[in-house]
Amino acid sequence: MNGADSVTGVVMKAMSRTPDPRLREIMESLVRHLHAFVREVRPGAEEFEQGLDFIRRLGEACGPEKNEVILLSDLLGVSTLVVMLQKEQEGGGTDPALLGPFWRAQSPRCAPGDSIARDARGGEPLAVAGRVVDPGGKPLAGVLVDVWQASPVGLYENQDPDQPDRNLRGLFETDAQGRFHFRTVRPAGYPVPTDGPCGELLRAQDRHPWRPAHIHFMLSKEGWRTLVTQVFDNADGAIESDVVFGVTPALAGRFERGADGALRLDYEFVMRPGTRRIPRPPLP
């Protein structure tokens, strides 16, 4: 090896026999950009050690209540960039949003109109009604709609020992008109976890940790691309500065109060043909 300029080429040659062409493509690109980053910032020995220690502590901070690695991806805008690039590639449909670190598999199966608020402590009632259609506007029946949200105090049930298990989570199925509906309580905005390395990073960057109030939706059906998205409360003060960059105009401003004073959310979701894929749960 003949100095710093030769390192990248030597590493590329070592990886050139990778049998999987996609893995080879990804790793070659990663090495090129990573080495270019190092050449640009020229970290000192102490900074390099701090960076490696940060990565180590990300893994150590992961547990049954949070996934610090996913959180970092969210805070750097990588998660949002990935889903937006996927939408550009696929074309059309409802804007996607990141899965987030709090989705859990096997939400309770619910009947139409059921309440997912299983906590007797209350909160402002919210009626949610949705319709799922194809790109041409034709209703899609039999779509599984997985919903989850934070509580009126801004905590998911797995973060809060005072909430019953699977509170504010539910699995619904669209009817012949592509419709589903359920009852819940108005979610609150909340700060992302700041007790680990990601919190240290936010403080060092003088960034707030807040997400605007929202409800998560995952829509899936065989023969259709799984849609993961969020619908936001436009009245939330953090709507224009979401710490994970997840808000788009099409996903905001859909919480409305009727003439009777009741709060309601109505939303039409557009799914595209493709492959049904359920992501790996970040939490058990």
Q: Which domains does the chain have, with CATH numbers?
A: 68-270 (2.60.130.10)
Whole-model pTM: value is 0.85
Categorize the per-residue pLDDT at 8 as very low, low, confident or very high, splitting at 50, 70 and 90: very high
Residue 91 Rama label (left phi>0; alpha psi -120 to 50; beta): left
pLDDT band at 119 (very low <50, low <70, confident <90, very high): confident
Instruction: For residues 35 and 3, give the distance between their C-alpha atoms in angstroms, rounded to a whole number.
Output: 14
Predicted local distance difference test score (pLDDT) of residue 282 = 77
Tens digit of pLDDT for each residue in 226-253?
999 999 998 898 999 999 999 999 998 6
CA distance 169 to 96: 19
